[in-house]
Structure 1
Amino acid sequence: MDIPRSASSARLVTRHELTLIVASSFGALLEWYDFYIYAALAGTFSTLFFPSGNETTAFLTSLATFGAGFLVRPLGALFFGRLGDRIGRKYTFMATIVLMGMATVGVGLLPPFTKIGMLAPLLLVVLRLLQGFALGGETGGAATYLAEHSPAHRRGFYTSSLQTTATLGLLTSIAVVSASRALMDSAAFQEWGWRVPFLVSLILLLISVYLRTRLAESPTFQAMKHAGTLSKSQISESFGKWENLKYVLIMLFSTASGVGVVFGTGHFYTMYFLQNTLKVAPNTVNLYLSMALIGVFPFYLFFGWLSDRIGRKWIMMSACLLLMLTTQPIFHALTHYANPELEAFQQSSPVVVHADDCRFSLFGAPKSECDRIRALLTASGVSYQQVPLQAGQTTATTIGGLTVHGADQQALEHALLAAGWVQHADPERINAPMVVFLMWLLIMYLAMIYGPMAAFMVELFPARIRYTSLSLPFHVGSGWFGGMLPFVVSAMAVAKGNVYFGLWYPVVVAGISLIVGVAFVPETCHRDISK
């Protein structure tokens, strides 16, 4: 049933509503901050918690550990979703924030690999899994709670405040990490300063718990509890009945997977691409990303507001279409504006690896000459072609007009430098406004799909199983498709020898999301969510 808009739609947010928004959003901000500190420190963690010897392998392993937290989110969604539909929204997402905070502080107390060996990465993975498990219950709980307190004609606008918290969490994590780096030298940061952002989380946790203790239970849940209409089997009712399961599947393969790849591309992969492929200084990348995040911030609220007026579906589908069409051009343009010397090198000096002993392995040190050559080229941000040896040839690398036999690292680096390759992007030649604009554009796509999405998810499912039903597809789609995106894209680039090849992953997923969304996603704007 659609609820018509009233003349009161233009009224200001009341103090009570503002308290609900702030308390719900601050807790969500903390959880995203906790989850994203790792993203800002992935490069540092690759040297602290994993064996040395192969820079590319250590970095990919670090990204896989980052992605592990996303993989477990659906389990948290099932566990906490069931609790939320059974004992209430408020108490459930109070539990998620405490678990997240404890796991985050635990990461800040971990000894490095040099002290406890393989136990270090093992404990890191366990704590990342706990973080992901907690986050699996947060998004659905906060979205359900706030939407059930919101006026129908302003539901998109109110819940879009929650969607800003992912951006604010990432922005806060970048700010705290950057401030920690700035206040000490690199040796001190590497030794102990990296712990500071994790330990700061304890202060934010105490504030969040205090704010959430002041919240009342959702009126929709209270009404169901008093009427005795709570579901007795949330999981089977959510996923065992086709009338609900079909919407779970539609959401999973449209908006959830779409938001996942938009999120992973704009928030994370641009950062890794600029740092590790284009060799832009980490602090510079953090500055650019922060500027883009700040520039996009009001648009989450704008698209949430707009979805209350023109509907949610086509705004979200437009984001998938834009990502599908522009991802490859945007990343090629990032190379042009961030490291034009690298672009010129790749155009004038094609790199060809002549070898037969190439074995693509994500984990473990490179063993063959080909493996060592490809690891060095990948770490250098260089695309290459690998061809089989001809009769009588030995393993060699052709760089422009130069040929290097064998896998001597120093000889390869000299040949790269002689052909015009640069070890670091020249700050004087970076077109900062264009780099920031391109990053802003990718994050703008996220605002388009993410701003209206909380309201859309809540409106899609019945109240008695809402927390469970929306949490699982959201975290499978955004967590698995998006959380593993930096790892998958990086691994595809390494396997192919082309720094842009992995970007076909978000393009294809966004295309599938668009097709499914256009064909099957219903318009949910202003639905009655009390039943």
Structure 2
Amino acid sequence: MTSQTLEDQKQQGRPVSAEHRRSMIASSVGQILEWYEWSAYAVFAPFIAGMMFNPENPVSALLATFAVFAVGFLMRPLGGLVFGIVADRRGRKFVLITTMLSMAVASVAIGVMPSYAQVGIWASVGLLLARMVQGFAHGGESATANSYVAEIAPRHKRGQWGSVVFVAIFGGTIIAYSLGGAITNVLHEGAVAAWGWRIPFLLGAVLALVALWLRRGMIESEVFVEEAVEEQLQDDGEPATRLTAAAIAGRPRGQLVSVLLLIGMVTGITAAHYTWSSYVSTYAIVERGMATQSAYWAIVLAQIIACIALPFWGRLSDRVGRKPVLYGFTIAMALAQFPLMSLISDQAWMLFVASTIALLIVGAAGALLSSYMSEIFPTATRTRNIGIAYGFSVAVFGGSAPYLNQLFNSMDVGWLSSVYVIVLCGVTFLALTRLPETRGIDLSKV
């Protein structure tokens, strides 16, 4: 065996089996369904506002709906922390099954919940509680899935494999918007407002059973198993042999610094993502007078194109590094935000063009999140640290984006929405200057 062959094997890491691929698929299918359930709320926000809040003030009801959306996000850091600790102690597979069950229960609750006209303020309270459960579970799911896929991926293809986590995000949103378009096309607006908006939540709970069946057959991450064995040996008095994060040259000193930098890095990505995936359809419908189904289908087509591009962004990062691609996102998004928002009118094709360009740019960064975040933290605390950093950043800067966008537009200062995204892209750029390049590192030695 030549030295070059040995070096190639060293770079590629452990061999990838059919079990690894099946586990990656099972994790991704579950994530798609979770993101579908999560996105269905944003898709049907105008209808939920009229049913679950006081319909006498439509603007207030819509703002309240997006406020509940944001509260769900605020639960994500807590869910990321709690489930992250569990995942770092009991394993990734256990948490991925638990979070799937939690999301399904909350989805059923939203689907059968009585309206404001039936029970008054208790409808709003029930919706808030259900979204809090979804947010709590979603925080644990996101953190664990990001760790799990990166850990079972081959080192030289970690960016490409890790991109499936964001494929699942887009995939779930695509399904939600597609169903939204289909429902608004088949049913008249009064029927959608009365009961049609409940269909996605009830359907999601049924589909979750399929995802649970798939996830039962997943393997546990070998990186986690090795870490557990190492800890057991240390408990038995064996000397420690693993490197710590601080021992790797060029990496930030201390995990707290890494967490703070990761929060900063994710801010621009998540603000841009939720502006262009969760809010622009509502903006086009409410502010520009676009037909509901036209807006939904424009977003669906844009997300399909962006979704197809994600593995290519991940593969590019496996070749040139994570940071060049991420720097490219910050610059392109900051330059394109104002022009793209100005394109949106009551014409669906203009929304499609603007959203496609924006989501292709967002996808460049989103595709790398799983691999890059996992390469920053050691195995023993990887999931909890990702849960805290990613969950906090998405909650504060992503979950609030639809609410802030609607608030700014209701105050006739909609341009502030674009300023918000541009400023946070600047924060992402600054955080990247302090973070290391991590392409191809061995996760078992982080």
Q: Same fold (TM over 0.5)?
A: yes
Equivalent-residue separation in structure 2 for 1:222 and 1:476 (angstroms): 28
CA displacement 1:290-329 (0-9 Å, x = unmatched): 1101111121110111111110112112112222222112
- Equivalent residue, structure 1, for 2:441: 527
Question: 5 Å matches for 1:195-214?
Answer: 195-214=198-217
Question: How well do the aligned residues superpose, as a CA RMSD in angstroms?
Answer: 2.2
- Equivalent residue, structure 2, for 1:489: 405
- Equivalent residue, structure 1, for 2:241: none
CA displacement 1:414-454 (0-9 Å, x = unmatched): xxxxxxxxxxx4xxxx3x54431211011011110011110
The residue identity in structure 2 corresponding to 1:252 is I
Offset of 1:32 from its aligned partner? 0.5
Does 2:225 correspond to 1:222? yes
- Equivalent residue, structure 2, for 1:192: 195
Equivalent-residue separation in structure 2 for 1:118 and 1:131 (angstroms): 20
The residue identity in structure 2 corresponding to 1:511 is G
For residue 103 of structure 2, the aligned residue among 96, 100, 103 is: 100
- Equivalent residue, structure 1, for 2:52: 49
- Equivalent residue, structure 2, for 1:460: 376
- Which aligned runs of 4 or more in structure 1 are off by greater than 6 angstroms? none
Structure with greater helix percent: 2
Offset of 1:242 from its aligned partner? 5.9
Offset of 1:89 from its aligned partner? 0.8
The residue identity in structure 1 corresponding to 2:283 is F
- Equivalent residue, structure 2, for 1:291: 301
- Equivalent residue, structure 1, for 2:248: none
Question: 5 Å matches for 1:2-81?
Answer: 5-6=8-9, 15-81=18-84
Note closer, same or farther for the CA distance 1:524–1:45 as it changes in structure 2 (3 Å cut): same
Note closer, same or farther for the CA distance 1:111–1:484 as it changes in structure 2 (3 Å cut): same
- Equivalent residue, structure 1, for 2:240: none
Offset of 1:106 from its aligned partner? 0.7
Offset of 1:129 from its aligned partner? 0.6
Secondary structure of the corresponding residue to residue 442 of structure 2: coil
Question: 5 Å matches for 1:373-522?
Answer: 425=346, 430=347, 432-495=348-411, 497-517=412-432, 519-522=433-436
Equivalent-residue separation in structure 1 for 2:349 and 2:295 (angstroms): 12
For residue 85 of structure 1, the aligned residue among 53, 78, 88 is: 88
Answer yes or no: is the 8 Å Cα contact 1:84–1:92 preserved in 2: yes
The residue identity in structure 2 corresponding to 1:112 is S
Equivalent-residue separation in structure 2 for 1:87 and 1:280 (angstroms): 49
The residue identity in structure 2 corresponding to 1:212 is R
Offset of 1:457 from its aligned partner? 0.6
For residue 260 of structure 2, the aligned residue among 249, 255, 280 is: 249
For residue 322 of structure 1, the aligned residue among 307, 332, 335 is: 332
Does 2:269 correspond to 1:259? yes
CA displacement 1:490-516 (0-9 Å, x = unmatched): 223333x23323321111111122122
Equivalent-residue separation in structure 1 for 2:233 and 2:131 (angstroms): 33
Equivalent-residue separation in structure 2 for 1:318 and 1:202 (angstroms): 38
The residue identity in structure 2 corresponding to 1:512 is V
Equivalent-residue separation in structure 2 for 1:181 and 1:437 (angstroms): 22
Equivalent-residue separation in structure 2 for 1:184 and 1:253 (angstroms): 43
Answer yes or no: is the 8 Å Cα contact 1:229–1:464 preserved in 2: no
Answer yes or no: is the 8 Å Cα contact 2:295–2:351 preserved in 1: no
Instruction: With the length of structure 1 as denominator, give the TM-score of the two structures.
Output: 0.76
Answer yes or no: is the 8 Å Cα contact 1:258–1:478 preserved in 2: no
Secondary structure of the corresponding residue to residue 163 of structure 2: helix
Offset of 1:127 from its aligned partner? 0.3
Equivalent-residue separation in structure 1 for 2:275 and 2:8 (angstroms): 36
The residue identity in structure 1 corresponding to 2:370 is A
Note closer, same or farther for the CA distance 1:69–1:5 as it changes in structure 2 (3 Å cut): farther
Q: Where in structure 1 are there 5+ consecutive unaligned residues? A: 339-424
Instruction: With the length of structure 2 as denominator, give the TM-score of the two structures.
Output: 0.90
The residue identity in structure 1 corresponding to 2:397 is F
- Equivalent residue, structure 2, for 1:304: 314
Secondary structure of the corresponding residue to residue 228 of structure 1: helix
For residue 182 of structure 2, the aligned residue among 170, 179, 182 is: 179
